[in-house]
Amino acid sequence: MDKQQITDDKTQQNKEKRKTRRRRFRLVILVLFVLSLPGYYCGLTVRNYEVRDARIQGSIRIALVTDLHSCKYGEDQRKLLRAIEEQKPDVILLGGDVIDDVLPTGPAEAFLSGISGKYPIYYVTGNHECWSGKENYLSSMKIIEKYEIKRLAGDCDIVSVNGTTIAIGGIDDPYAAMVESVIWSKELSDVKKEVQEKASADTFAVLLSHRPEAIEAYAKQGFDLVLAGHAHGGQWRIPGLINGMFAPDQGLFPKYAGGRYEKDGTTMIVSRGLARESTILPRFYNPPELVIIDLVGEGK
Ligand SMILES: [Fe+2]
């Protein structure tokens, strides 16, 4: 074999090696793509939590609905309404951004109309309802009123379910101050004051607030349970590794993107919300969720 022949053979071998490497690389990309497909699943899921407290006599089931952003769950919201009905909640809490500032209000109204009159329902504002401009904001509040949903804005209501009395307080989103003259921090302390006035100091106190990032302020007021949304689960998740990539007002790798948190005796549950077609980026390993919280007594 002459020198030229040897060189040609080596060149040919190198070409084959490069081709094989490229094929393997493409295969790895394809496998990763196929493996990531279930991550884009965006169907409605139900996530359950249990909160134990000695003051709860019978159990109380709360359905927490946040960040619907006027997204559609079937014709006339049938899928979402059916999911709620199946869970048989004692009370429904709407944690803000039910109505969107960009998408039409029709689907949100279909949802509110579907739950109206069937459960005790409480609502707090979210930032997107406030961002829609004063006129739209006021008409959104009229929609809430029209379906006999009680808006909590720095106050609380006492609710008795299955032999247990609990207080449900709520505060506006801070952006409500843009359209109405309210001072958020004053409202927060007022809610706790009202709980003490309307019930007693040791009544199990729930706070409904759109935003989870103010957990320290909520814990300082001594609420037993805080229910929030707003973070949309941090949009992208890698279960077991990263609980959210980004959330408004928390930035990258948000601490309170979704799940259960404890702070100085206060439990906070953050819903990953129901926003779907309203978001620019698709959700990844972060399906929209209806959150169900069971309040139960110790040892039950
Ligand atoms: Fe929000």
Q: What's the pLDDT tens digit per position in 34-79?
A: 888 889 999 999 999 999 999 998 899 999 999 999 999 999 999 9
For residue 26, the CA-to-ligand 1 centroid distance in Å is: 40
- 247 CA distance to ligand 1 centroid (A)? 9
3-class SS of residue 32:
helix
What is the model's pLDDT at position 1?
62
Q: Please give the Cα distance from 285 to 287 (Å, whole number).
A: 6
Beta strands in the chain (DSSP E): 45-52, 60-65, 91-94, 121-123, 150-151, 155-161, 164-170, 204-208, 225-228, 246-247, 251-252, 259-263, 266-270, 289-296
Provide the token pair at 16: 């084959």
What integer is the mean pLDDT of 283-293?
97
- Number of residues written out for the chain: 300
Considering only 3-12, 26-35, 94-103, which range has the smallest mean pLDDT?
3-12
What pLDDT shows up at residue 4? 78
Residue type, 119: Y
Query: What band does 118 get if pLDDT is binned at 50, 70 and 90?
Result: very high
Distance between Cα 246 and ligand 1 center (Å): 13
CA of 87 to the centre of ligand 1 (A): 25
Average pLDDT over residues 191-212: 88
Mean pLDDT for 208-236 is: 96
Residue 295: is its pLDDT beyond 80?
yes
> CATH number of the domain at 42-296, please?
3.60.21.10
On the question of pLDDT at 245 being above 90, the answer is: yes
Q: 244: CA distance to ligand 1 center in Å? A: 15
Distance CA 13, CA 34 (A): 32
Per-residue pLDDT tens for 144-157? Answer: 999 999 999 988 99
- Tell me the CA–centroid distance for residue 230 and ligand 1, in Å: 4
For ligand 1, the distance from its centroid to the CA atom of residue 158, given in whole angstroms, is: 26
Q: Quick one: pLDDT band at residue 300, thresholds 50, 70, 90?
A: low
Residue 228, pLDDT > 70, answer yes
Provide Rg for the chain, Cα atoms: 25
Q: How far is the CA of 129 from the centre of ligand 1 (A)?
A: 9
Residue ranges per structural domain of the chain? 1-40, 42-296
CB neighbour class for 119 (10 Å; exposed up to 12, middle 13-18, buried from 19): middle
Q: pTM for this one? A: 0.90
Q: Tell me the CA–centroid distance for residue 127 and ligand 1, in Å.
A: 5
What distance in angstroms lies between residue 96's CA and the mean position of ligand 1's atoms? Answer: 7
Q: What integer pLDDT is reported at residue 135 of this predicted model?
A: 85
d(CA 42, CA 166): 34
Ligand 1 geometric centre to CA of 210 (Å)? 7
